[in-house]
Each structure stands twice: as structure tokens, then as C-alpha cells.
Amino acid sequence: MGKSTAAQLFRARGVPVVDTDELARQVVEPGQPALAEVLAAFGPQLAGPDGQLRRVELARHVFADPAARQRLENILHPRIRALWRAQVETWRVEGHPLAVVVIPLLFETGAEAELDTTICVACSAATQQQRLQARGWPPEQIEQRLEAQWPVERKMTAAHYVVWTEAGLTAQAAQIERILSRLV
């Protein structure tokens, strides 16, 4: 959809950003309790020789099986939520007037209730397909991942603001500037 680019644009404007995708990678680093739980739930074969989680293989499994995906989310989401909440609290104490938490499953997890304002970063289904294919995802995995999320139209309706990423970086930056001018 363009969440990473939007996050970079906010950072470039001095807005602190925490990305829950990055937190998701941190909580499954070797030695972390979540990694041990994931391996116990899904099998030790998901750890590579270096001890790193084989994320692609895990994703292939959990997106093909909704019960497995729910089991994984039950392990990871509470830890991820605790980390971003702690970061937001740190920013509050430091006096930041606003900050951004990038949460791909914002509405699906109910996290929007904890935030003052929500922004949906969106593009057309065709562009989303192209972007995911460019990452090397096969069509079957793309479909499975999209089925695990709310449709983009529903997210756009639920959000306070929408950043449409079809028109390029300049247009996306202008949209973010307009949103920031209303929030600050």
C-alpha cells in the first residue's frame, strides 16, 4: 500500500515513527521468548542454522491455515502491542506533540481504539498486486494475505484520513503535509 514510504515521509518531517512490522521481527530474534514459543507451536524446522526464524516458511504455513495464523498472532501481537505502547508512552513523556504507529492490521486487531487519529495508506487492488508481486510473493500467498485483512475500502471508511499512494511520491508527501497541518 505504501506504509513504509508514508512512514519515511513522516520521519522526514520530524515525526517519530514506530513500525510494528519492525517490532514483529525484533520479538522473534534468537534468544527472544516469542521465538521459542513460535518454534514450540509450529516446529523447530522453522529455525535456520543461524537460529533465525524462517519467516517465509512460517508465513506460507500460517496464511494457508487461519487457525495457525490465529495461534501465531496470539503469540506475537500482545508482545508487539506492549512494545509500541511503551514507545508511545516514552514519546508522551518526552513531550512529542504527535507520533506515528504503523500497524498493518490496525482495525483487524482493534488497536485503533488506543489511538487519537487513524490514517489509512491505500492504493488500488491492481497496484497492490503489482507491488506484492515485485516483492516476489506468488499469487496464492498474495490472495491468502489479503483474505486475512479487511478490504481496503472498509479501512478507508474507518480511518480519519486516507493517503492515496497511486499518484507518486510528491502527491503522497502533499497529502501527508495536509494531514500534519490539521493535526499540529
114 and 83 together in one domain:
no
Residues 6 and 87 in one domain: no
Cell 497496484 maps to which residue? Answer: 127
Q: Domain limits at 41?
A: 20-95
Instruction: Kindly give the pairing relationship between strand 17-19 and strand 100-102.
Output: parallel
The string of DSSP letters for 60-74 reads: HHHHH-HHHHHHHHH
* Domain final residue, candidates 95, 112, 133: 95
Minimum mean pLDDT range among 1-10, 77-86, 127-136, 163-172: 127-136
If asked whether residues 59 and 128 sit together in one domain, one would say: no
Residue 167: what residue type? A
The answer to whether residue 83 scores a pLDDT higher than 80 is yes
pTM (global) more than 0.95: no
Q: pLDDT per residue over 23-64, tens digit each?
A: 999 999 999 999 999 999 999 999 999 999 999 899 889 988
Q: How many structural domains comprise the chain?
A: 2
Cα separations in angstroms, 57 against 53, 69, 136, 139: 9, 13, 14, 16
Same domain, residue pair 80 and 112: no
CATH value at residue 115: 3.40.50.300
Across the chain, what does the average pLDDT equal?
93
Residues 9 and 46 in one domain: no
Residues 122 and 159 in one domain: yes
The torsion angles phi and psi of 3, rounded to 5 degrees, stand at -60, -40
The 8-class DSSP code of residue 15 comes to -
- Which DSSP category does 176 fall into? H
73, 113: one domain: no
By residue count, the chain amounts to 184
Q: What is the pLDDT of residue 128?
A: 84
Name the domain boundary from 95, 125, 140: 95
Beta bridge partners of 162: 120
* pLDDT confidence of residue 184: 81
Residues 88 and 103 grouped into a single domain = no
Same domain, 83 and 30: yes
